[in-house]
Amino acid sequence: MELAHRMTALTGDGSDGWDVFYKARALKKQGHPIIELTIGEHDIRTHMDILAAMGRSARGGHTGYAAVPGTEGLRAAVARRIEAQTGVPTTVESILITPGGQSALFAAHMAVLNPGDVALYCDPYYATYPGTLRGTGALDRAIPCDPAHDFQPRTADLEAAAKGARSLLVNSPNNPTGVVYDRATWQAIAKTCITHDLWLISDEVYDTQVWQGEHISPRSLPDMQERTLVIGSMSKSHAMTGSRIGWICGPVPVIEYLTNFATHTTYGVPGFIQDAAEFALSQGQELEDEVAAPFRRRRRIALDLLTQQNLVRAVPCSGAMYLMLDMRATGLSGEAFAHALLDAHQIAVMPGESFGQAAAGHIRVAMTVADDQFSEALAVLLSFAAEICENKRRF
């Protein structure tokens, strides 16, 4: 008996670049004091007021089946938030509540792709992107984004990849690079989508973590509203990663079809979790700023340390909770440097190769430990890089 190709082909053969992560987790389980700067998990927990709201809702009886597209209250809260952020009129009917952003990504692509269609995404990419596209039966095609251009997709590369494609997946603020796409990049993306009649899926889960520049939702650009599906989530903005609560915002007819799809797959999201999310959104930007504040501080710590040396270069970290560091001056690949750092100093980071080939020779550092520990770990990382280079010169 054989499994379906959509299952066996989700990920490729060989190492996926996550060996360092698995190794670090195994060492930690054995009792080693590993400093994990690997995945995007807040070092703070979900705010107690949000958990209290969740508990009140559950104890009040909102534990049965909830409406599949989402509760009216949460859908309205999400619509108001999006309209306030983008200036684009947004109604409840434009919102589908999903069990997290990942579920939203898959559903959005299922809505616009037929088996065999070409689906585009940018390299470097969030680790699940290729598998998500393959899971729909589509053919995934990466658009290389050069570090020399701060990993922002260029017009020529977009145009070359778009021929014969059906959709384009983009992510800004970006995981893994920390880059916030500028207006010129967004205009190039919009022009490509319009010229080649592409659906645009915009993953905006880091929209509250913008340290420099501005967050532009492509749905707000001319002629883009009817071809754009926006993915949002409470995970990063409100430290609700385990609650699995996200949404899709898009044209009303698409949301209606997606609601039917949800009826046949997830059958909605628990009502008490939706009520907690609605409460969280009602707290406004103040709570979002509180959740984002540690990463803003640690970015400043990192930039101060990086200016004290000239070996390791940071990709402009304008948003999200990550630093992408260029380690090519050490002569090591990102994977080799990450393994060496873990072995020598018990500090775990992600190789750039974990996120595609465009980030080869880089590492991603998650700013997800306490300020003092983060500062110390980054200082050790930079010192270790300098030590590697010094040893190369000696021999």
What's the rounded mean pLDDT across residues 82-106? 97
Q: What is the spatial distance between Cα 50 and Cα 276, in angstroms, rounded to a whole number?
A: 6
Q: What is the spatial distance between Cα 341 and Cα 336, in angstroms, rounded to a whole number?
A: 9
Q: Is 180 left (phi over 0), alpha (psi -120 to 50) or beta?
A: beta
Question: b vs e for 267-283, b when ≥16 Cβ sit within 10 Å of the residue's Cβ?
Answer: ebbbbbbbbbbbbbbee
Q: What is the spatial distance between Cα 229 and Cα 231, in angstroms, rounded to a whole number?
A: 7
Helices (H), the chain: 5-8, 19-29, 48-59, 72-86, 101-112, 129-135, 155-162, 183-195, 252-263, 271-282, 285-306, 334-345, 371-394
SS (H, E, C) 172-195: CCCCCCCCCCCHHHHHHHHHHHHH
At residue 171, what are phi and psi to the nearest 5 degrees?
-150, 110
Report pLDDT digits (tens) over 287-303.
999 999 999 999 999 99
What's the rounded mean pLDDT across residues 186-211? 98
Q: What is the spatial distance between Cα 125 and Cα 183, in angstroms, rounded to a whole number?
A: 20
Report pLDDT digits (tens) over 235-292.
999 999 999 999 999 999 999 999 999 999 999 999 999 999 999 999 999 999 999 9
Percent of the chain whose predicted confidence (pLDDT) is above 70 = 98
Report pLDDT digits (tens) over 100-117.
999 999 999 999 999 999
Banded model confidence at residue 14, pLDDT cuts 50, 70, 90? low
Which residues, including other chains, have CB under 8 Å from residue 327's CB and lie 6 or more apart? 312, 334, 337, 361, 362, 363, 385
Identify the pLDDT of residue 6. Answer: 87
What structural domains and CATH numbers belong to the chain? 5-45+287-384 (3.90.1150.10), 64-285 (3.40.640.10)
Tokens, residue 146: 């050069």
